[in-house]
Amino acid sequence: MPRRLHLHLIDSTPPPSPPPVSPPRLRWRALLPAALLAGFYLLPWLRWNDRQALLFDLPGRRFDLFGLTLWPQDLGVLLGLIAVLATSLVLLTNLGGRVWCGYACPQTLWSGLFRRIERGCQRHLRSRRLAATVKHVAWAAVALWTGITFVGFFSPIDQLVTGLWPLAWSGWEIFWVLFYALATWGNAGFLREQVCIDLCPYARVAPLLSDADTPQICYDARRAEPRGARAPGQGGVEERGRGLLDPVSASDYAFRAAHPALAGPMPRFADDRLGDCVDCGACVDVCPMQLDVRNAPLPDCIACGACVDACDAQMRAQGFPEGLVKVASENAMRQQPQRWLRPRTLAALATLMVLLAVGLL
C-alpha cells in the first residue's frame, strides 16, 4: 500500500464563507475576443485599390485578397492556402493545445458575447420579463448584423448596407443573411457548449493531435486537496508547513470530492490540514462548458482559461499563491522535462514546410 499523509480529523461547525473575490485583472484573455469580434465586423469595410479588400465575388468569379486577385484558374492557389491554414492549426494544437477553441473559434466568441449581454440584462434590469425581452432584442440585433457582415464577404458590404431594406436585396442575399442570423442566434444563445461537444469535428480530432507535452488546463491536486472553506489569512500549504500531498493521496481526495455517491462524503479536516482549494466553485461558475476542472483532465475542455482567472482571483482574496489552476502540460505537472520536438510536431512542421515550398515554386 502506498504511504499516505495522515491528517487530523475534527468535528466543528461549518467554517465561514470565503471573502469576496478581488477585482479581476485586465488581461489579454478579455481583450483578445473583443479584438477578434471587432476585426470580423470591420474587415469587410477595409478598402484596397478602390475595392473591398476581402471579397469573394461568386457572380464575378473573382476573389480579392488584399490586392491578390484569384480567378477560377487559380483554384489550386486557394486550395493550397486552405491546406496551409489547416496544417498550421494542427501544429498550433500540438504546441499550444486547444488555443483555437478557447480564443478564436466563432462559437466561443459569439457565445461569450451573448453571455455578456445576458448577464448585463440580468444585472441592470430588475424585472425578469423585461430583462428577457431586452436580452432577446439585443441578441437578435447582434445576430442580424452578424448575418449582414458575413454576406458582406460575398457581396459588396457598402451596397448591402445602403440597400436600407432587405427587399432591396437579391433573393440569395435575403436567404443567407437570415440563415446566418438564425444560426448565430441559436448556436450562441441556446446550443452553446452542445455545439462543441456534439457538432464540432475539430473537437473530436484535437485529442489525437495532442500529447503529454501539449499544454492544457490543469488542477494542482497535490497542493489543493483536501479542499474546503476556511477563514482567510491562514496562509497556503507551503507557509503552514503542510507541504504537498503525495500524488496517490491527492488523486484519492480529488476523486472522493468529485464522486461522493461512490466514495461517500468527505470527512472534515482541521483548517491547518486543508489544501489551498477553498471549494468556492468559482472555476465551475465561469466555465462556458459547465465543467469542473478539479475532476481531472476533461476532453471537452476548450482551454479558454476562464477558470484560471477565477481561481487566481480567489487565491489573491485568500492571500494564497496563484496557479492552483493553471495552463501546463501533463509532463510539466509531473515535473518532467519539456520536449519541443515530438513525432506529431515534426510531422506537422514537415508538412507545412512542404506546402510552403510547393506554393513558392
pLDDT at 165: 63
Q: Among residues 293, 312, 306, which one has the least CA distance to residue 219?
A: 293
Task: Convert the pLDDT of each residue in 247-290 to its tens digit.
Answer: 999 999 999 998 888 888 788 888 889 999 999 999 999 999 99
On the question of pLDDT at 6 being above 80, the answer is no
Question: Interior CA angle at 346 toward 344 and 352, to 5°?
Answer: 105
Task: Convert the pLDDT of each residue in 141-196 to its tens digit.
Answer: 999 999 999 999 999 999 888 876 656 888 899 999 999 999 999 999 999 999 99
Same domain, 270 and 189: no
pLDDT at 263: 81
On the question of pLDDT at 27 being above 60, the answer is yes
Same domain, 198 and 114: yes
Q: Which residues contact 320 (CB under 8 A, 6 or more apart)?
A: 235, 236, 276
Same domain, 271 and 181: no
Domain presence at residue 16:
no
Same domain, 190 and 110: yes
Same domain, 161 and 53: yes
Structural domain range at position 292 = 216-333
Same domain, 187 and 241: no
Same domain, 147 and 132: yes
Domain presence at residue 64:
yes
- The mean pLDDT of the chain is 88
How many domains, the chain? Answer: 2
Same domain, 201 and 254: no
Same domain, 117 and 193: yes
- In the numeric block, the cell 470530492 is attached to 257
Same domain, 117 and 239: no
Q: Among residues 183, 216, 41, 31, which one has the least CA distance to residue 107?
A: 183
Same domain, 84 and 204: yes
Q: Which residues contact 173 (CB under 8 A, 6 or more apart)?
A: 151, 155, 160, 166
Domain presence at residue 139:
yes
pLDDT band at residue 30 using 50, 70 and 90 as cut-offs: confident
54-57/216-219 β-pairing: unpaired
Task: Convert the pLDDT of each residue in 279-318 to its tens digit.
Answer: 999 999 999 999 999 987 788 999 999 999 999 999 999 8
* Mean pLDDT (whole number) for 326-343: 90
pLDDT at 170: 87
- Looking at 174, 209, 244, the residue that finishes a domain is 209
Domain presence at residue 351:
no
Rounded distance between C-alpha atoms, residue 39 and residue 19, angstroms: 39
Task: Convert the pLDDT of each residue in 188-222 to its tens digit.
Answer: 999 999 999 999 999 999 999 999 999 999 999 99
